[in-house]
Amino acid sequence: MKIARLVIILFLLSNGVCTAADTAAAQCPPRVRASSTANKLLFRIAPHPDDALDVLLKQAYQAYLKGDFDHAHGLYLQVLKQAPRNQDALLGLAVVVQNRGAVQEALDYYAQVLRLNPQNAWANAGIAALNGDENLESQLKHWLQTQPDSAALHLALGNYYASEARWAEAQQAYFVAYRLAPQDASVAYNLAVSLEQLGQNKLAAQHYQRAVQLDVEHRAGIEVAPLNQHIEALLQ
């Protein structure tokens, strides 16, 4: 997951994002809902601190998190004007337009990414998910055969299992992703979610704390205050 590109978290099948109030009320974790109907995939592209477009891309991501899809859309388009082959902007646009209900347009953006990089795990999984591919699990496992060290694919597989409430399998996939990307706050967070679902509260609290420590620049969009309250509750 430590790719020299910008930060963005993509919820491929999301109808919105969890608010701080939702999190504080334990209605949903900020990254993976504890529900068999969650149907979310989270993809994390790690930042390159020297990227000249980083500011625009971070602003676009923050707008996306707030549900301001029009603003996010405009910012991603600004990036493409400066860097037409920027895969992060294309992936961001795919998710933004999907949230607007423009599935075909989202598929077109994913297709542009795949023309640039046919092995792009995010785009492949995005297309499979948007197409309602019943074989998403087998496809992810197939890609993992050729890319076994891809934290992104292990993370995607974990999110698939989480969407099916298959928490033991999700935990295993997240653990591998964490081993491959130990400095990724989003991976640490999702591992914590799975551990909590399995009743391993102390371990979950440790990994939530680790996620907060890793997200120093608040790139992962973690709601720190409500999460700290949740950690305290887990440790009681």
Q: Concatenated DSSP letters for 16-75?
A: S---HHHHHTTS--SS--SSTT----EEEE---TT-TTHHHHHHHHHHHHTT-HHHHHHH
215 to 185, 206, 218, 220: CA distances (angstroms): 6, 14, 5, 6
Let me know if residue 156 belongs to a domain. Answer: yes
* Domain hosting residue 131, numbered range: 8-235
Under 8 Å between Cβ of 124 and 146: no
Q: Which residues are CB-neighbours of 29 under 8 A, at least 6 positions away?
A: 18, 23, 189, 193, 196
Closest CA to 167 of 143, 192, 150, 187: 192
Q: Where are the alpha helices (DSSP H) in 66-102?
A: 69-82, 87-99
Tell me the pLDDT band of 219, cut-offs 50, 70 and 90.
low
| pLDDT above 60 (res 50) | no
Tell me the pLDDT band of 32, cut-offs 50, 70 and 90.
very low
pLDDT for the residue 138? 86
Tell me the pLDDT band of 119, cut-offs 50, 70 and 90.
confident
Q: Which residue has the higher pLDDT, 121 or 43?
A: 121
Tell me the pLDDT band of 135, cut-offs 50, 70 and 90.
confident
Let me know if residue 2 belongs to a domain. Answer: no
| pLDDT above 80 (res 26) | no
* Average model confidence (pLDDT) across the chain: 76
Let me know if residue 100 belongs to a domain. Answer: yes
- Hey, how many other C-beta atoms are within 10 angstroms of the C-beta on 1? 22
pLDDT for the residue 132? 65
Tell me the pLDDT band of 120, cut-offs 50, 70 and 90.
confident
Under 8 Å between Cβ of 92 and 45: no
Mean pLDDT, rounded, for 53-59 = 86
Let me know if residue 166 belongs to a domain. Answer: yes
Mean pLDDT, rounded, for 33-61 = 54
| pLDDT above 60 (res 30) | no
Let me know if residue 23 belongs to a domain. Answer: yes
Q: Which residue has the higher pLDDT, 56 or 156?
A: 56
Let me know if residue 98 belongs to a domain. Answer: yes
Q: Is the pTM of this model over 0.75?
A: no
| pLDDT above 80 (res 178) | yes
Let me know if residue 3 belongs to a domain. Answer: no
What is the separation, in whole angstroms, between the first and last Cα of the chain?
33
- Hey, how many other C-beta atoms are within 10 angstroms of the C-beta on 46? 21
Total domain count for the chain?
1
CATH number at residue 196: 1.25.40.10
* CA–CA gap between residue 79 and residue 57 (Å, rounded): 7
Let me know if residue 125 belongs to a domain. Answer: yes
- Tell me 215's DSSP state: -
| pLDDT above 60 (res 40) | no
